[in-house]
């Protein structure tokens, strides 16, 4: 029997790897097997296409390509120029952006590029005014010293971590919390929703240089038109981190006030998650920040990864196909069906439901911490991650919540009926798990965990992962 192209490609790759280090080849094969057998509900994970995966394993990995298209610090980058230009073109067309920078290695890197682009733009505009020179290169060291003192400790206003914000939005463990004087806006204690009047009040009082919108665990839409109005009212640069919901923007599920690109000065994203591409980052902006953004390398980035940019070009081309819009809508349909199924089984959900790809369960209703719930579900073949809830009594490590998302299962073809079955499996495990002697320990009957794991496998059997890939 002849093998299809995907099976031939991956089998051949593993044979070549095995000849050098068989343990790596075995681990790659084991990872595919594990992903095929797991009910993956991690909101930030997905499954890239075979074409996207294969685009990363090639000779582009051997190239240094500091600089940008047509302006490299190394010779021989004509082919890198081709794939970077293609990735940027697809990104601009897909999101309706004036400029796209596809070099960031991750979402954190994309945010760093954005932060420093905003700071550099502000520094340079002030520098030219204060020093009364035409070009930044004409500034003296004394000029720069004075500017650094004046522009140090700039302010950032972003969503709080327990309300669904991200570490890169100004929190101490991340470099953003060390770069900026940061303050957070939260959500309404009664509803869990953003109170835009309170955000506006905080902005007027704090007067940030950057107002950040976007989230990693907020299960609702954000009105970016209102957020831009708030930013404009205090002279702030409006930045949106759409890493989690970029696929919903690309698929035109989020439009109008809920599409960040027409409203933000600068937008950052990852290229995996709901966008279903390779692990990496990207920055979108208007012409006023484009030159600063394009200095991301060497400003804060190391050398670009041309093989990943090639994979980004492939994934973004896939996202421009008509069927991606249907996929994006199914992500939301599945998330809402999962939320409804959990609610019918008396689970407590933050905000009571979802408008996007994720659902946040407050597991204190089951008498558990997030860490206990996460591990109990993993024992039962259900992969999730613990997450803080608003005003979380258990803090950011143990947490009181479980974050679940539907991009990966939607990629496998599961639909709303399967989401109800998934809700039943989750509820069964959580309702039968009891708290142990610490916030990490718990009690779950191994027989029940094994039963649920088998039920999860049976559910997935009808939706094979990478069905065209047979490793033998």
Distance from the Cα of residue 427 to its chain's centroid: 26
Catalytic residue at 66?
Answer: yes
Rounded-to-integer distance, Cα 220 and Cα 223, Å: 10
CB 164 within 8 A of CB 217: yes
Catalytic residue among 64, 92, 183, 320: 64
State how far the Cα of 258 lies from the Cα of 171, in Å rounded to an integer.
25
φ/ψ region of 466 (left if φ > 0, alpha if ψ in -120 to 50, else beta) reads left
Angle (nearest 5°) at CA 214 between 236 and 291: 55
Whole-angstrom distance, CA of residue 157 vs CA of residue 203? 7
How far apart are the C-alpha atoms of 183 and 219, rounded to whole Å? 22
270 among known catalytic residues: yes
* Secondary-structure percent of the chain, ordered helix, strand, coil, rounded to 5: 50, 10, 35
Q: Of 454, 405, 427, 408, whose CA–CA distance to 341 is shortest?
A: 427
- Spatial separation of the C-alpha atoms in residues 166 and 170, rounded to whole Å: 8
Quick check: 120 and 295 in contact, CB under 8 A? yes
CB distance 57 to 48 below 8 Å: no
Q: Note if 215 is an active site residue.
A: no
- Burial, 462: exposed, middle or buried (Cβ in 10 Å; 0-12, 13-18, 19+)? exposed
Segments of 62-140 assigned E as strands: 67-68, 71-72, 99-101
Q: Which of 168, 268, 269, 270 is flagged as catalytic?
A: 270
Active site residue 237: no
Instruction: Identify the active-site residue in 45, 66, 124, 424.
Output: 66
Active-site residue (options: 36, 273, 386, 439): 273
Q: CB 259: neighbour CB atoms within 10 A?
A: 21
Reading the block at residue 10, the tokens are 């991956």
Would you say 342 and 349 are in contact if contact means Cβ atoms under 8 Å apart? yes
Annotated active-site residue 366? The verdict is no
Residues 6+ apart with CB under 8 A from 46: 272, 273, 274, 275, 276, 407, 408, 411
Active-site residue (options: 155, 183, 279, 295) = 279
Q: Which of 241, 294, 318, 379 is catalytic?
A: 241
Which residues on neighbouring strands pair with residue 156, listed in sequence order?
182, 210
User: Is 371 tagged catalytic?
Assistant: no
How far, in Å, CA of 196 to CA of 164, rounded?
A: 15
Q: Supply the residues annotated as catalytic.
A: 64, 66, 241, 270, 273, 279
């Amino acid at each position: 029997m002849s093998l299809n192209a995907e099976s031939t490609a991956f089998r051949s790759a593993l044979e070549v790897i095995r000849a050098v280090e068989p343990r790596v080849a075995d681990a790659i094969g084991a990872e595919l097997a594990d992903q095929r057998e797991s009910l993956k509900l991690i909101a930030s994970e997905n499954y890239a296409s075979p074409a996207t995966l294969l685009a990363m394993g090639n000779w582009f990995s051997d190239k240094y390509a500091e600089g940008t298209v047509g302006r490299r610090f190394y010779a021989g980058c004509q082919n890198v120029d081709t794939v970077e230009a293609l990735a940027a073109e697809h990104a601009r067309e897909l999101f309706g952006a004036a400029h796209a920078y596809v070099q960031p290695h991750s979402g954190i890197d994309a945010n760093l590029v954005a932060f420093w682009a905003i700071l550099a733009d502000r520094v340079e505009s002030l520098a030219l005014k204060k020093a009364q020179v035409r070009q930044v290169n004409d500034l003296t060291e004394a000029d720069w010293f004075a500017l650094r003192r004046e522009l140090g400790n700039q302010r950032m206003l972003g969503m709080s971590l327990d309300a669904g914000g991200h570490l890169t939005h100004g929190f101490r463990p991340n470099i953003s919390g060390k770069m900026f004087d940061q303050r957070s806006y939260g959500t309404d204690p009664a509803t869990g929703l953003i109170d835009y009047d309170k955000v506006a009040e905080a902005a007027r009082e704090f007067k940030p240089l950057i107002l950040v919108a976007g989230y990693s665990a907020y299960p609702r839409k954000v009105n970016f038109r209102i957020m831009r109005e708030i930013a404009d009212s205090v002279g702030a640069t409006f930045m949106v981190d759409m890493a989690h919901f970029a696929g919903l923007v690309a698929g035109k599920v989020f439009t109008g006030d809920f599409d960040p690109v027409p409203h933000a000065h600068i937008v950052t994203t990852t290229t995996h998650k709901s966008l279903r591409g390779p692990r990496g980052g990207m920055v979108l902006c208007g012409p006023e920040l484009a030159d600063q953004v394009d200095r991301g390398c060497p400003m804060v980035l190391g050398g670009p990864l041309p093989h990943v940019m090639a994979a980004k070009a492939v994934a973004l081309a896939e996202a421009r196909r008509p069927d991606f819009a249907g996929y994006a809508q199914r992500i939301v349909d599945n998330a809402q069906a999962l939320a409804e199924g959990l609610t019918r089984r008396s689970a407590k959900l933050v905000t009571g439901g979802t408008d996007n790809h994720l659902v946040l369960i407050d597991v204190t209703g089951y008498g558990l911490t997030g860490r206990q719930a996460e591990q109990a579900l993993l024992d039962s073949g259900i992969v999730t991650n613990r997450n803080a809830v608003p005003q979380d009594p258990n803090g950011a490590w143990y947490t009181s919540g479980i974050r679940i998302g539907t991009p990966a299962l939607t990629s496998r073809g599961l639909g709303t009926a399967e989401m109800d079955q998934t809700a039943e499996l989750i509820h069964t495990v959580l309702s039968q798990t009891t708290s142990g002697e610490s916030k990490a320990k718990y009690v779950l009957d191994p027989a029940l965990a094994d039963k649920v794991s088998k039920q999860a496998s049976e559910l997935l059997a009808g939706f094979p992962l990478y069905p065209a890939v047979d490793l033998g």
